[in-house]
Chains A and B, each alone.
Chain A
């Protein structure tokens, strides 16, 4: 059996940053890139199934430019033999639904039994890609899974869905399925030095949207359900900042707290 794990290399904005002149985003000079935190958990969950059973393959896939290979290799350093990356100029500007359409084509090629994505990504928090992918595939699906019991070959998995307020729902889901994985489902491992070294020579297949049988209308802005109009820096909150040395700050803070407690 096979588990396909779509991952995302996210952009983190520096403390100081500038917007692009056209207001359509942050100036890339002020962005750092890293693997989305949620994807560390979804990949770990796939690896655990692989290790607990015979004949399970785990394949990470991403939609992103060449630098996203780093995120794939970060996964491959922990396990798995090959990765897939989809990119070409037409893909630029895709919203999560257009990304999902691409991932669905990859899934059709790879024929996995399960697809795990992160519940959301910490940059834009759409929480949209995994379930959109399920829609394109027409597969059973559920979001925010924080516990999974599954044996390869079985027709159902048992999952817990993390609901609001700390309540969980235990449910059964038909397989094949697309699950979005929540933080805390496991404790992701650290890659070994040996693993990191080996990952450098693992195969990453690079595909374009055309290789997957998609047209220009299917990807980028044209293939998206929303269009970016602009980005802006939100108005600052009204916080009064306490300045000074740590001792001075603590002293003022203690004063404020005592006042607030006394007044209440």
Chain B
């Protein structure tokens, strides 16, 4: 078996950034062991996206016409499964996206392929493919192997591989999707409520609070500190889920990416992968946490292990 296949994803008419990241991961693998790089796109009009996928290193773009433009899980599973059976790649890389969380495990189980999710390292050890992913809430890494598997399906963590941008000279191919009975129906997209107050994606200086603030009554004191410092207040998921701050303030995969942030002060945020996805690119991350092993420190430039209430109180004296 030879060849690397990547699956591209799109939503609301745009290819997702992760679609370009999986091509980057595939190119690294191709550099280690030369094999054909195939990029598949499933859409009602795949031509709309196919040209953008003509990236350096891609040998073949496979256009698969689906009955619907929107993601439909049964259609994706059937088409990707049949494509893998037809092309027999050694590796198939898909984004570790919400869509893939629905379809990737099903394809792996039905095809009896090697399978690992949320992978951020892929390499060959001799002929064997090895995938690295996190374990125990990011405190350890685990290496997985897939002995005896002709095809290995991996979902690739976001924001790890730098998206490929340069143009290539790929050949365009078409592949017929099998017809399926769709057992889910897209009804509509619901955009997040703006919250009206602030767009954190524009903020340059942010102070974000997490579970470590312990109680809704404590939000106020951090809001005060944030205002004193001239920062913008953000939060991690548990704070928004509890309704202590509006969802529009949430940083992370299911919240916002703070694209323009220069300094990010994380208070009482342990640093789940989902949160890191929205902020780990920030050049100056400062974290305060009582747990010295908290994964937020792995992306921080400065760290303080300690009581965030005491430190926040003291901080107020410096910003009056």
Asked whether, in the complex, the Cβ of B292 is within 8 Å of the Cβ of A15, the reply is: yes
Q: Which residues of B contact A96 (CB under 8 A)?
A: 105
Q: Does A85 sit at the interface, judged by CB under 8 A? A: no
Whole-angstrom distance between the alpha carbons of A161 and B191 in the complex? 12
- Residue of B whose beta carbon sits closest to that of A242: B304
**Can you name 11 A-B residue pairings with CB atoms under 8 Å?**
A12-B137, A15-B292, A97-B115, A119-B101, A171-B185, A231-B141, A231-B142, A231-B143, A241-B303, A249-B314, A254-B319
Instruction: Specify which of A122, A143, A227, A240 is in contact with B98 (CB 8 Å cutoff).
Output: A143
Query: Could you tell me if B273 and A125 are in contact, using CB atoms closer than 8 angstroms?
Result: yes
Known: A167-B192, A250-B311. A183 touches B241 (CB 8 A): yes
Contact (Cβ within 8 A) A261 B263: yes
A131 vs B77: C-alpha distance when bound (angstroms): 12
| Contact in complex: A253, B311 (CB < 8 Å) | yes
Contact B300 A237 (CB under 8 A): yes
Distance in Å: Cβ of B6 to nearest Cβ of chain A:
18
**Contact in complex: A241, B190 (CB < 8 Å):** no
* CB pair B314 A246 closer than 8 Å: yes
Instruction: Look across to chain B and name the residue whose beta carbon is closest to the beta carbon of A237.
Output: B298
Partner of A239, one of B108, B131, B302: B302
Do B183 and A161 have beta carbons less than 8 Å apart? no
Task: Say whether B114 faces chain A, with CB atoms less than 8 Å apart.
Answer: yes
Does B90 interact with chain A (Cβ within 8 Å)?
no
- Mostly, the A contact residues are mixed
- Chain A positions 10 through 31: 1 when the CB is less than 8 Å from some CB of chain B, otherwise 0: 0111010101000000100000
A158 within 8 A of B: yes
A194 sits at the interface (CB 8 A): no
> Is there an interface contact between B140 and A250, defined as CB atoms closer than 8 Å?
no
- Please tell me if B32 contacts chain A, counting CB pairs below 8 Å: no
A-B contact count (CB 8 A): 261
Chain A residues with Cβ under 8 A from B314's Cβ? 246-247, 249-251
Contact across chains for A127 and B118 when beta carbons are under 8 A apart? yes
Residues B242-271 near A (CB distance < 8 A): 247-248, 250, 253-257, 262-263, 265
Establish whether residues B102 and A143, one from each chain, have CB atoms under 8 Å apart when the complex forms.
yes
Contact A123 B136 (CB under 8 A): yes
Query: Which segment of B56-64, B145-153, B171-179 sits at the interface?
Result: B145-153
Give me the 4 closest cross-chain CB pairs, A-B, nearest first: A250-B314, A166-B192, A254-B318, A135-B109
A162 contacts B263, C-beta separation under 8 Å: no
Q: Within residues 301 to 315 of chain B, which ones have a CB less than 8 A from any CB in chain A? A: 301-307, 310-315
Q: Is the CB of B315 within 8 A of A254?
A: yes
CA distance A251 to B311 in the complex (A): 9
A246 CB contacts on chain B under 8 angstroms: 306-307, 310-311, 313-314
Task: Determine which of B135, B149, B313 lies in contact with A231 in the assembled complex, contact meaning CB atoms within 8 Å.
Answer: B135
8 new A-B contacts at CB < 8 Å, known A131-B106, A226-B116: A122-B137, A125-B273, A141-B106, A183-B241, A240-B303, A242-B303, A246-B310, A253-B315
Find out whether the CB atom of B306 lies under 8 angstroms from the CB atom of A227.
Answer: no
A171 to B72, CA, bound (A): 10
Q: Identify which of residues 214-240 in chain A touch chain B, using a CB-to-CB cut-off of 8 Å.
A: 225-234, 236-240
Q: Which residues of B contact A12 (CB under 8 A)?
A: 136-137
- Cβ–Cβ contact B102 & A227, under 8 A: no
Q: Choose among A165, A226, A242 the residue that contacts B114 (Cβ–Cβ < 8 A).
A: A226
Mark interface residues in A149-169 (1 if CB within 8 Å of B CB, else 0).
Answer: 000000000101111111111
Residues of B within 8 A of A171 (CB): 184-187
Contact partner of B108 among A17, A97, A228, CB < 8 A? A97
